[in-house]
C-alpha cells in the first residue's frame, strides 16, 4: 500500500471513529435531556419523543417515569384535557430538573380528576342519582363551574348542643330520634377557631355519638352551647345543588328540585390527587399546567419519613382549582418554590406544608379557600397559606376570601428567619373566628419579619359559637410569639383588632397604619402568670379609630404588673377624630375595666411621652379619606379637595402612594383655629 493510500485509509478510519463518538455523545446528551410529548390525538404505541409522535395518556407517562433522566421534560399539549394522576417516581438534579410542562399554542393543558355526569336516574322528590366510579368519597362537586357543598341539616345555621362527653358525643335536647342520623357526618363547632368533622356512629334520642380523626384538648368541646350540623346523608338533600355520595354502593345523589339535570353541567372529582410524589424526589418542576378537580390535593409531595423528603421542587405559572383538600401540599423538604400561580376553590388550604425550609412563595393569587362550612376535612384547615417552617419568604401574594387565616406561620424545630412581606390579604375568617389575616404563635429563636403587607376586611364568624361576634385580628401574634418585627403594614376594617399580642413577648411593632378596627392594638395576657407580655417595643405607629365606638388600644390582663411593665411605647399617633377623648381601654384585677385619654394613659403607663393625638376633630365620617396601594408600582390618587394628613401636612391636587403603602387624610375644612387641641 502506498503512503498516500495508507494516510487516506487512516484518515477515513479516524473520521469514522470521531463520527461514532460524536453520535454517541449526541445520543447520551439526548438521553439525559429529552422531551416527551403527550396529546389527546397521540398513541401510547408512539415513542413520544417528538410533537409528531406523541403519547396519549397519563398512565403511559407513569409507566415510563422511572426511566426519565435529569433534564428531561414531559410536555402536555396546550388546549388538551387529560384525566388521571401523574405519579412522580424519579428525581432531577441541581440545574437539571425533571420538568412537567406544556407545548404548542393555546390554553394551558388541563390535568383533571373531574368526571362529567350524564344519564341521571330520577329517584323522585327532585333527587337524581348516578352510579359513579371514584377512588374515594368525593369532596368536590361543581354545577356549571360553581362549587356546591354536601347536603346539610339544617340548610343554614347551626343546631345547639347543651352537653358533651369528651370527644365522643354531644347531646341536643331539641333533637328528636327521627330521622335517625346514624352513619351521617357531623360538623361540630367546638370552640371559636375549629369546626370539627366526624361520623355519627349512633343516634339515640337527643344523644349523638361520633368518631373523629382529630383528638386532643383543642378538639374537645370547650363548653356547652356551641353549635353543630349534620351532612353527607341522603336525608339532607332539600336544596338545589346539595349532594350525597354513598361510597359503599357507588351512587351519587343530587337535588335538582324542579330543574332539569340534563340542562346542567355537573362535574364530580373522582381522583384523589392530580400530581403526587409518594417517596422523596428532588428537583421536580411543574410549569404552565391547569390542575383542576381533585378529591384531595392538586399537587401532593407526600412525606413518608424524615429521610424520604422532596427537595428543591418548583411549581410555577400553574392554575389550580376545585380541590377537595389542599391546592398544594408540600411535605418535609428544602428549597420549595411556588411562584406566579393561581389557586382557587380549595376546601382546606391553598398551600400547605407541615415542615419546610428555605422556601419561597411569591406572586401567587389564592382565593376562595374553605368558604363552605363543614366541607373541610381538617378541623382548622381553612387558610390561604400554612407553613410550619424554617427560613423562608412569602411575598407579593394576593389572598382573598378564606375561611380562617390568610397566612399561618409557625416556627419549625430550628426556628430561623421568615419574611412575610408585600402581600395583599382581603376578607379572611369568613367561617371561623379567633384567627387573623397573618397569624403566628410559639417561640422563635430567629427573626420573623412581617413587613409592608396590606390587610383589608378581617371579618370573623361567630355562627355556631357562644359569642356571636368577630374575634379575629389583622396581624395576630398569639401565644408565646416572640422575636417578631411587625413594620410598615396597613390593617383596615377588622372586626376586632388591627394588631393583637396574646401572651407574646420580645416583639417590635413600628411604623404600621391601623384604620377602622374595633381596636387599634390589643395586648392580652389571659394567664395570671407574669412575664407573658414583656419586651414589647411600640413606636411610630398610627392607630386611627374611625368611629366613636372604636378604641386605639386595649390592654387586658389577669396580672397587675403587665400594663406598666410590658416594654416601651413612644412616638405613636392615637387618633379618633369623631370623638377624640377616651381612646384607651384597660382591664386588670386591681383596676377593673377603665378608659383613659392620652394624657392619663401617659401618666399611668409612663409611656408614649412623645406620642400625639389629632389637633382637630371632625363631625362627618365621609370627610375621612383612606387609600392604599396593593401593587408593585407607585399609584397617583386624585383629590377632590384640600386635605390634611395625620401628621399635619397639607395635601391637595393628588397624592402618590408607593407600593404597599397607605394614607389617611381628612378634609381641610376642619383645620380652623377653633379645632386646635393643645398637645
For the segment 193-210, the average pLDDT, to the nearest whole number, is: 95
Instruction: State residue 617's pLDDT score.
Output: 82
pLDDT above 70 as % of the chain: 91
Evaluate whether 588 touches 580 at the Cβ level (below 8 Å): no
Instruction: State residue 32's pLDDT score.
Output: 55
Confidence of residue 332 (pLDDT cuts 50, 70, 90): confident
**Rounded to two decimals, what is the model's pTM?**
0.92
Instruction: State residue 306's pLDDT score.
Output: 56
Evaluate whether 100 touches 71 at the Cβ level (below 8 Å): no
Q: Report the residue count for the chain.
A: 679
Query: What residues does 284 pair with on adjacent strands?
Result: 98
Confidence of residue 563 (pLDDT cuts 50, 70, 90): very high
Tens digits of per-residue pLDDT, 270-320?
Answer: 999 999 998 789 999 999 999 999 999 999 998 655 555 678 999 999 999
For the segment 482-497, the average pLDDT, to the nearest whole number, is: 97
Instruction: State residue 2's pLDDT score.
Output: 45
Instruction: State residue 215's pLDDT score.
Output: 61
Tens digits of per-residue pLDDT, 7-26?
Answer: 444 444 444 444 444 334 43
**Helix H segments across 511-668?**
562-565, 598-605
Extents of the domains making up the chain:
114-267, 621-675
Tens digits of per-residue pLDDT, 97-141?
Answer: 999 999 999 999 999 999 999 999 999 999 999 999 999 999 999
Tens digits of per-residue pLDDT, 130-169?
Answer: 999 999 999 999 999 999 999 999 999 999 999 999 889 9
Confidence of residue 218 (pLDDT cuts 50, 70, 90): low
Helices (H) and strands (E) counted in the chain, each on its own, are: 4, 62
Confidence of residue 379 (pLDDT cuts 50, 70, 90): low
Evaluate whether 623 touches 675 at the Cβ level (below 8 Å): no
Q: How far is CA 400 from CA 390, 425, 498, 595, in A?
A: 25, 6, 17, 35
Instruction: State residue 675's pLDDT score.
Output: 38
pLDDT above 90 as % of the chain: 79
For the segment 635-652, the average pLDDT, to the nearest whole number, is: 92
CATH superfamily label, 621-675: Golgi alpha-mannosidase II (2.60.40.1180)
Residue 413 has pLDDT above 70, yes or no: no
Instruction: State residue 641's pLDDT score.
Output: 92
Instruction: State residue 309's pLDDT score.
Output: 66
Rg, the chain, Cα only: 30
Phi, psi of 317 (to 5 degrees): 55, 35
Instruction: State residue 16's pLDDT score.
Output: 42
When comparing pLDDT for 414 and 293, which is higher? 293
Residue 92 has pLDDT above 80, yes or no: yes
How far from chain centre, in Å, is Cα 389? 15
What are the grid coordinates assigned to 356, written together? 419546610
| Pairing mode, strands 141-143 and 436-440 | unpaired
Evaluate whether 319 touches 295 at the Cβ level (below 8 Å): no
CA angle 477, 480, 483 (to 5 degrees): 70
Confidence of residue 388 (pLDDT cuts 50, 70, 90): confident
Q: Is 76 exposed, middle or buried (0-12, 13-18, 19+ CB in 10 A)?
A: buried
In whole numbers, what is the pLDDT of the chain averaged over residues? 90
Amino acid at each position: 500500500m502506498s503512503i498516500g493510500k495508507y494516510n487516506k485509509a487512516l484518515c477515513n478510519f479516524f473520521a469514522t471513529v470521531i463520527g461514532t463518538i460524536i453520535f454517541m455523545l449526541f445520543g447520551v446528551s439526548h438521553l439525559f435531556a429529552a422531551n416527551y410529548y403527550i396529546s389527546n390525538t397521540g398513541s401510547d404505541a408512539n415513542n413520544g419523543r417528538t410533537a409528531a409522535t406523541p403519547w396519549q395518556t397519563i398512565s403511559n407517562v407513569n409507566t415510563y417515569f422511572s426511566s426519565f433522566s435529569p433534564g428531561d421534560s414531559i410536555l402536555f399539549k396546550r388546549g388538551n384535557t387529560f384525566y388521571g394522576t401523574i405519579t412522580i417516581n424519579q428525581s432531577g438534579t441541581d440545574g437539571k430538573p425533571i420538568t412537567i410542562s406544556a407545548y404548542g399554542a393555546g390554553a394551558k393543558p388541563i390535568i383533571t380528576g373531574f368526571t362529567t355526569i350524564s344519564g341521571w336516574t330520577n329517584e323522585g322528590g327532585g333527587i337524581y342519582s348516578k352510579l359513579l366510579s371514584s377512588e374515594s368519597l368525593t369532596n368536590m362537586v361543581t354545577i356549571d363551574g360553581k362549587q356546591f357543598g354536601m347536603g346539610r341539616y339544617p340548610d343554614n345555621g347551626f343546631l345547639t348542643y347543651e352537653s358533651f362527653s369528651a370527644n365522643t358525643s354531644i347531646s341536643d335536647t331539641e333533637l328528636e330520634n327521627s330521622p335517625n342520623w346514624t352513619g351521617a357526618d357531623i360538623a361540630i363547632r367546638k370552640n371559636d377557631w375549629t369546626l370539627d368533622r366526624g361520623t355519627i356512629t349512633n343516634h339515640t334520642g337527643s344523644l349523638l355519638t361520633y368518631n373523629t380523626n382529630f383528638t386532643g384538648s383543642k378538639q374537645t368541646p370547650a363548653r356547652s352551647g356551641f353549635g353543630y350540623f349534620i351532612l353527607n346523608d341522603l336525608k339532607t338533600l332539600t336544596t338545589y345543588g346539595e349532594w350525597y355520595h354513598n361510597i359503599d354502593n357507588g351512587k351519587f345523589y343530587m337535588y335538582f328540585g324542579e330543574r332539569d339535570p340534563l340542562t346542567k353541567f355537573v362535574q364530580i372529582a373522582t381522583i384523589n390527587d392530580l400530581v403526587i410524589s409518594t417517596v422523596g424526589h428532588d428537583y421536580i418542576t411543574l410549569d404552565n399546567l391547569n390542575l383542576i378537580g381533585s378529591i384531595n390535593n392538586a399537587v401532593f409531595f407526600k412525606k413518608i419519613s424524615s429521610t424520604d423528603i422532596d427537595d428543591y421542587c418548583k411549581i410555577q405559572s400553574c392554575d389550580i382549582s376545585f380541590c377537595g383538600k389542599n391546592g398544594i401540599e408540600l411535605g418535609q423538604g428544602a428549597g420549595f418554590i411556588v411562584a406566579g400561580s393561581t389557586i382557587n376553590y380549595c376546601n382546606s388550604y391553598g398551600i400547605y406544608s407541615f415542615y419546610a425550609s428555605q422556601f419561597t412563595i411569591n406572586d401567587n393569587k389564592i382565593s376562595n379557600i374553605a368558604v363552605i362550612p363543614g366541607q373541610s376535612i381538617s378541623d382548622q384547615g381553612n387558610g390561604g397559606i400554612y407553613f410550619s417552617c424554617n427560613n423562608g419568604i412569602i411575598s407579593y401574594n394576593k389572598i382573598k376570601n378564606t375561611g380562617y387565616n390568610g397566612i399561618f406561620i409557625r416556627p419549625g424545630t430550628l426556628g430561623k428567619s421568615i419574611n412575610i412581606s408585600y402581600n395583599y390579604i382581603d376578607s379572611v375568617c369568613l367561617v371561623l373566628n379567633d384567627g387573623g389575616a397573618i397569624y403566628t404563635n410559639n417561640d422563635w429563636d430567629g427573626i420573623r419579619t412581617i413587613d409592608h403587607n396590606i390587610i383589608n376586611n378581617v371579618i370573623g364568624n361567630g355562627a355556631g359559637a357562644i359569642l356571636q361576634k368577630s374575634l379575629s385580628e389583622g396581624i395576630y401574634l398569639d401565644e408565646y410569639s416572640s422575636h417578631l418585627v411587625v413594620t410598615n403594614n396597613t390593617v383596615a376594617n377588622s372586626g376586632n383588632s388591627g394588631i393583637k399580642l396574646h401572651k407574646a413577648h420580645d416583639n417590635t411593632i413600628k411604623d404600621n397604619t391601623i384604620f377602622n378596627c374595633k381596636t387599634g392594638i390589643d395586648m392580652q395576657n389571659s394567664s395570671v402568670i407574669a412575664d407573658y407580655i414583656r419586651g414589647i417595643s411600640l413606636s411610630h405607629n398610627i392607630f386611627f379609630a374611625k368611629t366613636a365606638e372604636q378604641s386605639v388600644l386595649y390592654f387586658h390582663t389577669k396580672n397587675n404588673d403587665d400594663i406598666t411593665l410590658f416594654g416601651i411605647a413612644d412616638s405613636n399617633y392615637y387618633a379618633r377624630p369623631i370623638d377624640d377623648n377616651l381612646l384607651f381601654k384597660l382591664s386588670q384585677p386591681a383596676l377593673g375595666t377603665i378608659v383613659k385619654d392620652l394624657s392619663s394613659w401617659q401618666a399611668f403607663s409612663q409611656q408614649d411621652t412623645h406620642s400625639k393625638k389629632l389637633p382637630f376633630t371632625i363631625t362627618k365620617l365621609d370627610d375621612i379619606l383612606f387609600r392604599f396601594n396593593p401593587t408593585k408600582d407607585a399609584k397617583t390618587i386624585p383629590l377632590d379637595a384640600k386635605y390634611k394628613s395625620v401628621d399635619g401636612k397639607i395635601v391637595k391636587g393628588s397624592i402618590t402612594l408607593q407600593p404597599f403603602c397607605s394614607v389617611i387624610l381628612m378634609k381641610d375644612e376642619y383645620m380652623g383655629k377653633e379645632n386646635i387641641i393643645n398637645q
